[in-house]
Amino acid sequence: MLARMSGACLVPFVPRRKPDGKGYQLIMLPPECSPPLDDAETNRRVDEQSGRKMHHDGTRAVYVVTPSL
């Protein structure tokens, strides 16, 4: 609701605990400056789509899938 009211960009991120257990690393995707924020269902779909852009494998590597230009 705040993003819709303010017109701010949204920055999707995933926090990941560091291997030594001392803190976190933030993995951020590019900002979404005009996501559809009309209702709760649309918000949920946008959030799920952001999560699907990341793929985690068993070696703690993170791959970010970016759209082709």
pLDDT by 10s per residue, the chain, length 69: 677 777 778 787 778 888 888 888 887 777 878 777 778 888 788 777 766 666 554 445 555 555 544
Eight-class DSSP state of 40: H
Any bridge partners for residue 27, and if so which? 14
Residue 22 lies in a domain: yes
Of how many residues is the chain composed? 69
- In a domain? residue 7: yes
- Provide the whole-model pTM: 0.54
**Which residues span the domain enclosing 16?**
2-64
Domains of the chain: total: 1
Question: Is residue 11 in a domain?
Answer: yes
69 assigned to some structural domain = no
59 assigned to some structural domain: yes
Q: How far is CA 18 from CA 6, 27, 28, in A?
A: 33, 12, 15
